[in-house]
Structures are given as structure tokens and as C-alpha cells.
Amino acid sequence: MKTIGIIGGGQLGRMMTQAAKKMGFHVIVLDPGENSPAGQVADSQIIGSWNDPESLKKIVEETDICTYDLEHVDTKVLIELADQGNKIHPDPRVLSVIQDKLLQKQCIAEAGISTPAFIELKDDADFATFGFPLVQKTRKGGYDGKGVLVMKDKTAMAEKLPGACMLEKMVDLEMELGVMVARGIDGDIVSYPVTEMTFDDRSNILDLCIVPARISPELEAKARDLAEKTIEALGGAGIFGVEMFVDKAGEIFVNEVAPRPHNSGHYTIEACVTSQYEQHIRAVAGLPLGSPDQTRPCVMYNLLGEPGYTGEPYLHGLEVCLHIPGVSLHMYGKAETRGFRKMGHVTVTSTVLEDALDKALIVKKNLKVISE
């Protein structure tokens, strides 16, 4: 059986590893932290940074196929390694485009896909282009709301983000949607059902994912079509998370793409025929893609560390929640909880979406990650 290397040992790498092991692959993880979430369930872990050329070379050489659980890796080294004939998916050249939000958006817009209006930020005069409110984004390195600044008016310029940035016209937001799309090495593309996403105001981390999204069949079809076209434009093999905005007029815009399994696709483990993790492994290993069909309505939410608690995690309220049928708990094996840290997630499935939503809200209210 082949060995898959995963660069990055967080929760996405962990669930990828579990899917790969299920299918019979050996798995080696590269992560700087000992006993990383993915390292705990993999065959072995290389301790090293995903930006260290020697570590990257080591994992690529020790495995048959390499992939990532995060996009912030050194693509220069990976492009060299890929050019030497090593199998690295998605293609590190695609990753280097996606890493830079400006290049990513240019690539998507050039394919004729609707995005919020954007420009490169070259000097302060650019802040006047769209008028306020507007959104400033750092071109590289942002995640979970970090590297994104919503500027209500020009006074916000006093706290503008440093470094290379882009500006976007603020969308008059009605809702956010997510679509997972898988692309095989042969170019075959499948998309998953549309996820309706709500965000936590305090942390800006994804709050509830409701699937299927409560939208019209027309909007559902449009969102999936846009998401597939986006991944066709970017290229590369693997699974991709496509985040979209819908404005108050019902127009839909592609916001951002993640070249990996995505938080908004966790629900696929319980609620779809093929999970996003197995789909990713199938895609990067050159195997046929699986069915993305949904089997049960569901709601997923992130289990964040309760603010005010630091230390070994303890689940307060677990028994009450596990009494509720259809509640599935996923913990990531992180040794320490901290306020708003992603410690796990909960997926609630049911035969009826409203029932799953009601139950998810009960669990969310009662289950807390505190320290022992």
C-alpha cells in the first residue's frame, strides 16, 4: 500500500489521516508540534516546519504522494520538488496562486466568475475607490478572520493592516454559503450540497453550518455551478472549499477558496456518502471521486475553547448532549484548550433539518470545553 504525506498536522490533517488509514494508506505527517492532532493517528510524524526546506524535502521523499492540511506552506520548495517528478497535490503552483488572495481573485474574475469588486492596495488614495464601508485584506497569511479588516469609514484607516494588501467592495450581505468541490487528477469535478454558514461575532470563526442551505433550488444550482467553475479555473487535484456571499438583491459572489478540506465540509463525515476527507485522499491519490450525495439533513458547529479557561480540556455537559439522538462529537486531541481555540466540532443529523437545528442549538448551549 502507498504512503501519503500530509504537510500540517492540525485537525484537517487528522481527519484526512483517518480517512487515508481507513482506505489502507500509510500516513506520515509533517508538523512542528510533537504529538500533533494528525500525528496522534498517523503512522509517524516528522517534527519540522512546513516552511523548512529540509523537512519538506524529507516528507516528499519518504512518501509516494504529498498533500497539505493548510495553505501557508513554502511553495517555492514544493514547486522544485514537483518539477523533479514527485507527486504533490494540489499542484504547488495552484497553491501559490490561492495563497495570494489578490492573485486568487484575479484568476477567478478572469474566468468570468462573479466576485466582489476588488483592487490591489498600492497607496492610500486607493481607499477612495469603492467608498466606505470596505474590506481590507492582507494578500497572504490570513485565516479565520485574521488578516481581514472591515473599515466602516475613513477613520478606520488609522488602524489599517500592514503589508501587501487588497481592497474589496463591501457586499450588502444577506448570507454566506459554502460549497466543497473535488477535482480529480484527470480533471473530473464533483460538488457537494450547499452549506449555509453563520459566523461567531466574537471570534469571527465559522459558527453554524446548516446543510442543505435554506435557499431556492435555483440559487442552490447557481452556487454549485459557480463553485465548480471556480475550481475549473484554478486547477489542481484535491478538495477545495469555496466560500460565497449572497447579497440582499440575491446576487451571488465568490469570496475565497481554500485548497484543502474546509471547516464548512466537516458535516460530510456523517451526512454524505463520501466525506470531504476521503474525497481529498481519493483525488490526490489519483483514485475515482466518490459520490457527494447527502444522506441526512444536518447542522455542524465548531466546539471552541470557552473563554477564561486554559489547560487540559474537559467537556462540561457531555452526558446531556449525548442523550440527544444524532449528535456526533469530534475532538481533535489538542492537549490544551484556550479561549476560542478550535477544540473539536459537533455534527447533528436528523431526518428533518429543523430538528437537527433545534438539537444543535441545545448542544451548543450545554456543551462547553473548559479546563480540568
CB of 9 to a copy of itself, least distance (A): 14
Q: How would you write the chain as a 3-class SS string?
A: CCEEEEECCCHHHHHHHHHHHHCCCEEEEEECCCCCCCCCCCCEEEECCCCCHHHHHHHHHHCCEEEECCCCCCHHHHHHHHHCCCEECCCHHHHHHHHCHHHHHHHHHHCCCCCCCEEEECCHHHHHCCCCCEEEEECCCCECCECEEEECCHHHHHHCCCCCEEEEECCCEEEEEEEEEEECCCCCEEECCCEEEEECCCCCCEEEEEECCCCCHHHHHHHHHHHHHHHHHHCCCEEEEEEEEEECCCCEEEEEEECCCCHHHCCHHHHECCCHHHHHHHHHCCCCCCCCCECCCEEEEEEEECCCCCECEEEECHHHHHCCCCEEEEECCCCCECCCCEEEEEEEECCCHHHHHHHHHHHHHHCEEEEC
Which of 61, 83, 172, 293: binder of a copy of itself (CB under 8 A)? 293
Residue 295 touches a copy of itself, criterion: CB under 8 A: yes
Residue 43 touches a copy of itself, criterion: CB under 8 A: yes
- CB under 8 A: which stretch of 15-23, 68-76, 244-252, 257-265 binds a copy of itself? 15-23
Residue 287 touches a copy of itself, criterion: CB under 8 A: yes
Residue 362 touches a copy of itself, criterion: CB under 8 A: no
Residues 167-196 vs a copy of itself: string with x where CB under 8 A? Answer: ------------------------------
- CB under 8 A: which stretch of 121-129, 170-178, 258-266, 282-290 binds a copy of itself? 282-290
Which of 13, 116, 241, 313: binder of a copy of itself (CB under 8 A)? 313
Tell me whether residue 175 is annotated as binding. no
Which of 34, 124, 153, 319: binder of a copy of itself (CB under 8 A)? 319
Chain residues that interact with a copy of itself, rule: CB under 8 A:
1, 18, 21-24, 40-41, 43, 273-274, 278, 282, 287-288, 290-291, 293, 295-296, 312-315, 318-319, 322-323, 325-331, 333, 344, 349
